[in-house]
């Protein structure tokens, strides 16, 4: 991997590219297995750092020096907060030898929103939206359970205009996630499901031109992404939350 490729992958992972450039990177990831593998390593490293990195308060002398430079009080609490991304950066440098550097994402929820949109675009461009094609939840659920360390809930909403067409396995926050694939007329809806409880709410929002909806329920986190209108995706999310 060239230094320029490494720089672009880091910028893409951190959400620093404009939508047009990000789509170019998505196309390259779909065509280049080695670049895709490097991206997956970076993403897994990101999740490992967020989960396992140690955080330590800055030494008083260092905190005071930076406080003077910034014109702020050297509060221990403030400096602990300031040091977190620095600790993540240092850990990434050590863990990612040969892959450049990694800067911790500012906010897990926003980072996950970028991930689900990027994953949706990547799978669409590569024509790899579905690994198991079926509208039968009794076929899809066992397949996912066999490929994941958890068993996700699966439902078909054909009677409501959102038929289940299949599923695949992907990664979200560096951890495996189920992706249930639904149709809404000519549109595709990807529903990401993974264990967890800490998900923000507040209705659908738009990220890089795609509608995104998220919620947590019964020990699972759900993220839906599509190019359908926000109100349609919100209706779909309500159906998922109600279990059909």
> In the chain, how many domains are there?
2
209 band by pLDDT with thresholds 50, 70 and 90: confident
Whether residues 123 and 96 share a domain: the answer is no
- pLDDT, one tens digit per residue, over 141-154 is 999 999 999 999 99
Q: Of residues 96 and 185, which shows the higher confidence score?
A: 185
SS3 assignment, position 130: coil
Whether residues 117 and 234 share a domain: the answer is yes
d(CA 238, CA 25): 33
pLDDT for res 83: 41
- What is the 3-state composition of the chain as percent helix, strand, coil, each rounded to the nearest 5? 50, 20, 30
pLDDT > 50? residue 126 = yes
Domain that holds residue 25: 1-106
205 band by pLDDT with thresholds 50, 70 and 90: confident
User: 54, 86, 106: which is the final residue of a domain?
Assistant: 106
Here the CATH number for the domain that contains residue 176 is: 3.30.200.100
pLDDT for res 74: 45
Computed over every residue of the chain, the mean pLDDT equals: 75
Whether residues 26 and 45 share a domain: the answer is yes
pLDDT for res 68: 66
Whether residues 83 and 160 share a domain: the answer is no
Whether residues 168 and 219 share a domain: the answer is yes
Whether residues 24 and 88 share a domain: the answer is yes
Residue 171 DSSP symbol: E
Whether residues 123 and 236 share a domain: the answer is yes
Whether residues 100 and 8 share a domain: the answer is yes
Whether residues 146 and 230 share a domain: the answer is yes
**pLDDT (average), residues 202-226:** 83
- pLDDT, one tens digit per residue, over 48-100 is 555 555 555 666 676 666 566 655 454 444 434 444 444 444 444 434 433 33
pLDDT for res 143: 95
Q: Please say whether the beta carbons of 180 and 225 come within 8 A.
A: no
User: 82, 106, 130: which is the final residue of a domain?
Assistant: 106
Q: Of residues 121 and 55, which shows the higher confidence score?
A: 121
Q: Identify the CA nearest to 222 among candidates 186, 196, 189.
A: 196
Whether residues 44 and 61 share a domain: the answer is yes
Backbone angles phi, psi at 75, to 5 degrees: -70, 130
CB contact burial 126-142 (16+ within 10 A = b; e otherwise)? eeebbbbebeebebbbe
pLDDT > 70? residue 33 = yes
pLDDT > 70? residue 206 = yes
Q: Of residues 205 and 154, which shows the higher confidence score?
A: 154
Whether residues 149 and 194 share a domain: the answer is yes
d(CA 19, CA 210): 11
In angstroms, the Cα distances linking 232 to 57, 160, 161, 204, 243 are 46, 11, 10, 10, 17
Whether residues 118 and 92 share a domain: the answer is no
pLDDT for res 94: 39
pLDDT for res 37: 76
Q: Of residues 123 and 96, which shows the higher confidence score?
A: 123
Q: If you average pLDDT over each of 10-19, 26-35, 210-219, which comes out highest?
A: 210-219
pLDDT > 50? residue 156 = yes
């Amino acid at each position: 991997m060239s230094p320029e490729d490494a720089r672009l992958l880091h910028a893409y992972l951190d959400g620093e590219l404009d939508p047009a450039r990000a789509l170019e990177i998505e196309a390259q990831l779909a065509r280049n297995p080695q670049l895709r593998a490097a991206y997956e390593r970076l993403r897994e490293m990101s999740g490992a750092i967020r989960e396992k990195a140690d955080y330590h308060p800055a030494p008083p002398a260092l905190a005071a020096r930076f406080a003077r430079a910034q014109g702020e009080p050297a509060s221990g609490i403030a400096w602990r907060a300031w040091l977190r991304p620095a600790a993540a950066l240092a850990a990434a440098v050590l863990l990612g030898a040969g892959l450049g550097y990694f800067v911790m994402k500012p906010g897990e929820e926003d980072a996950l929103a970028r991930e689900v949109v990027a994953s949706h675009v990547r799978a669409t461009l590569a024509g790899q939206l579905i690994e198991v094609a079926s509208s039968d939840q009794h076929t899809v659920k066992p397949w996912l359970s066999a490929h994941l360390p958890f068993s996700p809930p699966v439902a078909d909403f054909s009677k409501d205009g959102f038929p289940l067409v299949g599923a695949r396995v992907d990664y979200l926050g560096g951890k495996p996630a189920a992706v249930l694939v639904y149709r809404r007329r000519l549109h595709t809806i990807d529903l990401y499901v993974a264990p967890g409880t800490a998900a923000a709410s507040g209705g659908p929002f738009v990220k890089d031109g795609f509608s995104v909806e998220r919620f947590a329920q019964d020990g699972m986190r759900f993220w839906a992404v599509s190019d359908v209108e926000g109100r349609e995706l919100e209706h779909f999310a309500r159906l998922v939350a109600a279990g059909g």
